[in-house]
Amino acid sequence: MEPKADIAVIGLAVMGQNLILNMNDHGFTVVAYNRTVSKVDEFLANEAKGTRVLGAHSIPEMVSLLKRPRRVMLMVKAGKAVDEFIEQLLPHLEPGDIIIDGGNSLYQDTMRRTAYVESKGLLYIGTGVSGGEEGARRGPSIMPGGSPAAWPHVKPIFQAIAAKVADGSPCCDWVGENGAGHFVKMTHNGIEYGDMQLICEAYHLMKDGLGMTPDEMHQVFAEWNKGELDSYLIEITRDILAFKDDDGAPLVDKILDTAGQKGTGKWTVIASQEMGIPITLIAEAVYSRCISAMKDERVIASQHFSGPKPRIAGDRQTFINDIRKALYASKIISYTQGYMLLRAAAQEYKWNLNYGGIALMWRGGCIIRSVFLGKIKEAFDKNPQLTSLLLDPFFKKEIKRCASSWRKVVATAVRKGIPVPAFSTALAFFDAFRSERLPANLLQAQRDYFGAHTYERVDKPRGQFFHTNWTGRGGTTSASTYTV
Ligand code: 2AM
């Protein structure tokens, strides 16, 4: 019998199962396989009952069911499970076959695996898949990178199952070579951390500063979701605030204030440190989760220190509007920083990233999907060489429109003792970025004073380095210049 399956999916956790059902809905024949083989039969007897999905009980059986070139997608835990499956698959596949990793793998791992699998004559794709369970089932955002020759064979499946924007464009396109897809997915997750933290700071200000109830805040988020902040995360926040526990009280108030994390935010910050890119807002978002997790220490500290009374005087609606603008301006900064990171990575790894295309992939299906990303797409469509989102005429105008509210919110929060690390770091970044002159002249003097690290001068051409014997005691020898 001719093999008839279009693709195999290994890994029957919720994301894998939902992707299989989504592929099935779009007319593809999928073979399902899992390390714990009993899950294959369970899946066929339950969720996949009545579908075209085939089950395999071994890798050779799975491979025998696939059309050529064979497409095998891993939806397993990131890390060693991916390497183990690659090793198990290689003896059963042939040159030209394609291994796809759809998990949240670290981009450096994907770079290594692409080179390794290509060295065996096969093709490799590492792809971000975002949208959670619901996205995987109804249309995720898919961000594939790896071996370019693999893309034409995977494109029809991925673009069929991906989310679509209003004009029908799929939220999936080729990102770039080796680790580019996973790098873009990682950056997406970092931005997601930032978006969530910004919403939490707005909530904190409304709750403690304005003394609002969850129902009142529900109304505010419902209103915000009709304007420039229209997005999935604002929408779910609206719904969370209205959700009642069994006793009729708001559930959100009963949830312990300690945040978890799985590491993609941290990876984004590590990458930014390695590349010297200030993604300050994402970094604050990661650290805010860390502070939240120090619950026991916070409880003790709260008994030692009191702060100002948090209640904010003045017209409530006016301040709510100020918070909305502060959130919006901070969000513009966060995406500006995220795109700076993408640009630096493209340069470092020689990826030809399509920045407007990335905004389109994030426009629908994924957790950060929003109307705002449509505006980012427009900005890069108008000017693909745009170096900073802030310099796009639309975003420039928006930042200017929001600036005074943004300052008012940050200043008020500081006076009232309400922590707003993401709002305030965004504002500090903006003020630094728009400064022709920063105090780093003094910093360079300090470095030269204690370490003879040399400095450049404002009255001499760039690239000439000077050393001063600041104390009269040191020598005239400078340390060789280096950058960190
Ligand atoms: P399992 O059902 O056999 O545990 C999410 O955890 C998915 O990744 C599941 O399909 C799980 O398979 C798989 N998985 C996790 N760790 C694995 C490993 N070390 N090797 C193979 N599959 C693994």
pLDDT tens sequence across 286-305: 999 999 999 999 999 999 99
Q: If you measure from the C-alpha of residue 81 to the centroid of ligand 1, how many angstroms do you get, rounded to a whole number?
A: 7
Q: If you measure from the C-alpha of residue 471 to the centroid of ligand 1, how many angstroms do you get, rounded to a whole number?
A: 64
Give 143's pLDDT tier (boundaries 50, 70, 90): very high
Q: If you measure from the C-alpha of residue 35 to the centroid of ligand 1, how many angstroms do you get, rounded to a whole number?
A: 6
Residue 482 has pLDDT above 70, yes or no: no
Decide if 192 is catalytic.
Answer: yes
> For residue range 206-243, what is the model confidence (pLDDT) as tens digits?
999 999 999 999 999 999 999 999 999 999 999 999 99
Catalytic pick among 2, 47, 134, 192: 192
Give 195's pLDDT tier (boundaries 50, 70, 90): very high
Which atom of ligand 1 is found nearest the CA of 16?
A: 10
Residue 448 has pLDDT above 90, yes or no: yes
Assessment of whether the complete model's pTM goes beyond 0.85: yes
What is the three-state SS of the chain?
CCCCECEEEECCCHHHHHHHHHHHHCCCCEEEECCCCHHHHHHHHCCCCCCCCEECCCHHHHHHCECCCCEEEECCCCCHHHHHHHHHHHHHCCCCCEEEECCCCCHHHHHHHHHHHHHCCCEEEEEEEECHHHHHHHCCEEEEEECHHHHHHHHHHHHHHCCECCCCCECECCCEECCHHHHHHHHHHHHHHHHHHHHHHHHHHHHHHCCCCHHHHHHHHHHHCCCCCCEHHHHHHHHHHHCECCCCCEHHHHCCCCCCCCCHHHHHHHHHHHHCCCCHHHHHHHHHHHHHHCHHHHHHHHHHCCCCCCCCCCCHHHHHHHHHHHHHHHHHHHHHHHHHHHHHHHHHHCCCCCHHHHHHHHHCCCCCCEHHHHHHHHHHHHCCCCCCHHHCHHHHHHHHHHHHHHHHHHHHHHHHCCCCHHHHHHHHHHHHHCCCCCCHHHHHHHHHHHHCCCECCCCCCCCCCECCCCCCCCCCCCCCCCCC
Decide if 185 is catalytic.
Answer: yes
Pocket test for ligand 1, best of 35, 41, 87, 101 (most atoms within 8 A of CB): 35
